[in-house]
Amino acid sequence: MKSRKILTKTGKFILCFMPFLAYLLIQNMVGLFIYTVEAGKIVKAEGLSPTREVIESILVALQSDVNLTLVIMLFSEVIGIVAFSLFLYFVMKEKYPARPREIFSLGNLLAVIFLFAGFELVVSGVLNLLQFIAPGLMADYAKRIEGMGITQLSFLSTVVAVILAPIAEEFVFRGLTFKLTRRFSKNFWTANFFQACIFGLAHMIDQILLLLMGENTTINPIQAVYAFVMGLILGYVYKKFNSLWATILAHLSFNLAGTWLVSLIYGADETVSVLKIFVVTAISSAVIFFCLNALKNDKKTRINEAGFNTKHHFESSDM
């Protein structure tokens, strides 16, 4: 009996990683397909012999093409959104409200937007301070982010980073993954911590895979760390609203602030004054505190949270 419980628990633990692994598989399959097609075009157009050395050199060049990276992300996110939303609706029985007013009031809507815009500004403030403390680590982080193409202020990068990625990731992590971690643990904060860990892991899995394949690379944990904290807050928002639409809005607000608002505030200067960093971070922290308090006291949010606790049988001690 005890061994059966251990096996059941282990199975539930492993199952929690399946949505993330499926999402990773979609990204890699899309990337493999597009790189293969593009490499074939180059070989044919230039009349090259498709030797291993030639193909490898072409692939290295393609992987440094930021626009092609964004195209791969675009198709990956669209496929992910379709696949995971259908799975959530038909298999996991996740029901979405027909109208936003069923879960949002004007107060809690603005609270979610400003909460995550403020959180992005706090993250940016910490990252700017890290440039003075650990310049090498930050230079490596900046290089990795730029390689993804999401720092470009273009239409394509905005569609991918601000709209599609938040929707796909919320279906995967606060939708499927969180549902599975709640089966693994009945305690809300344990389940929330677990799904946030997986969310953080997802933001440095490429580095881990390269290291496992013997590539000469290092692990840069910066994005994984703030993704973990963000995952915790997103899980809390999901509990408050009992709806993925709230976490999608929150995630979208964070990415929008990171793409446009940070650029407007800090500009393109490589060095930012410490005073400006502290002022922006202090104001943003105050906004976060105010928004969290507003969510706690909002009547519609309390109703949504009560529905969440009843649905998932969470006790008041878990709130």
pLDDT one-digit tens code per residue, 292-316: 999 988 888 888 888 887 776 554 4
pLDDT in the model for residue 271: 66
Is the per-residue pLDDT at 170 higher than 80?
Answer: yes
Which residues touch 34 (CB under 8 Å, ≥6 apart)? 68, 71, 72, 75
Any idea what the Cα angle at residue 62 is, between residues 56 and 63, rounded to 5°? Answer: 90
Sign of the C-alpha dihedral computed for residues 197, 78, 123 and 301 taken in this order: negative
pLDDT tier at 97, thresholds 50, 70, 90: low
Q: Model pTM?
A: 0.91
CB atoms within 10 A of CB 308: 18
Residue 26 tokens read as 């979609």
Is the per-residue pLDDT at 99 higher than 50?
Answer: yes
Q: What is the mean pLDDT of residues 262-276?
A: 77
Q: What percent of the chain has pLDDT over 70?
A: 94
pLDDT in the model for residue 149: 72
Is the per-residue pLDDT at 194 higher than 90?
Answer: yes
pLDDT tier at 117, thresholds 50, 70, 90: very high
pLDDT in the model for residue 284: 95
Is the per-residue pLDDT at 1 higher than 80?
Answer: no
pLDDT in the model for residue 96: 63
Residue 172 tokens read as 């995967």
pLDDT tier at 144, thresholds 50, 70, 90: confident
Average pLDDT of the residues of the chain: 89
pLDDT tier at 8, thresholds 50, 70, 90: confident
Residue 238 tokens read as 């999901």
Is the per-residue pLDDT at 318 higher than 50?
Answer: no
Is the per-residue pLDDT at 141 higher than 70?
Answer: yes
Residue 176 contacts residue 88 (beta carbons within 8 Å): yes
Closest to 160 measured CA to CA, from 59, 282, 51, 71: 71
Is the per-residue pLDDT at 166 higher than 90?
Answer: yes
Is the per-residue pLDDT at 268 higher than 80?
Answer: no
DSSP 254-295: HHHIIIIIHHHHHTT-SS--HHHHHHHHHHHHHHHHHHHHHH
CB atoms within 10 A of CB 43: 16
CB atoms within 10 A of CB 87: 17
Q: Where are the alpha helices (DSSP H) in the chain?
A: 2-15, 18-46, 52-63, 66-90, 106-133, 135-148, 155-158, 165-169, 178-184, 188-202, 205-212, 222-241, 244-256, 262-266, 274-297, 299-312
Residue 116 contacts residue 257 (beta carbons within 8 Å): yes
Q: What percent of the chain has pLDDT over 90?
A: 57
